Amino acid sequence: MLKKTIALAAMLGVSVLFAVTPRPLADMAIPVPAGKAISLKAYRGKVLLVAMISTDCKACIASIEILNRAQKDFGPQGFQVVAAAGDQNAQYMLEPFVQRYRPLFPMGYLNVDEMMKLGDIGPKGGVAPIFLFVDRKGVVRQQVFGDNPFFKAEELSTRKAIQDLLKP
């Protein structure tokens, strides 16, 4: 994964493995090309996985299928995926991406500064995909960057993190 060149990694700089967690999820809305912005605050009370991706990243595209399965399997239990593309000009790239890959969850876009705020990413940046696992109270409990060993067994790791947060 370290060899993958992706737009988001270039924008955000050198990778780091973890951001500081736990922390409150940034209170922000994720714009969508046509329609009402996605309010992260609206998902309080659900377990939330916020995925920050690049639309031309092969690993990010593969993540969409994994996240679709997770949404389908865990959605009825109070789980929700929300994704944001962070490419330069993402607002123009998002609609064709959504039409092609058909995510089963809301997806919008953010600029670099908004991505850094949402991910609490420092000046050294991070590699996409970036997953934030948020508990029902709106606290980020785990955050992983695309170069983390978590992604070597992405589906298994993602499902375990979700199941842990869904436990009463």
Specify the pLDDT at position 123.
80
Which structural domain range is residue 40 located in? 7-166
Residue 2 lies in a domain: no
Residue 86 lies in a domain: yes
Going edge to edge, which strands form the sheet with 139-145?
A: 23-24, 139-145, 130-134, 47-53, 79-85, 107-109
Q: How many domains does the chain have?
A: 1
Specify the pLDDT at position 14.
33
Specify the pLDDT at position 16.
38
Query: Can you give the CATH number for the domain in which 107 is found?
Result: 3.40.30.10
Residue 141 lies in a domain: yes
Residue 41 lies in a domain: yes
How far is it, in rounded angstroms, from Cα 48 to Cα 143? Answer: 12
Residue 37 lies in a domain: yes
Q: What are 63's two structure tokens?
A: 């993540």
Residue 68 lies in a domain: yes
Q: pLDDT tens string for the chain (168 positions)?
A: 333 333 343 343 333 344 456 999 999 999 998 889 999 999 999 999 999 999 999 999 999 999 999 999 999 999 999 999 999 899 999 999 999 999 999 999 999 899 999 999 988 788 999 999 999 999 999 999 999 999 999 999 999 999 999 998
How far is it, in rounded angstroms, from Cα 107 to Cα 109? Answer: 7
How far is it, in rounded angstroms, from Cα 117 to Cα 151? Answer: 23
SS3 helix, strand, coil % of the chain, rounded to 5? 40, 20, 40
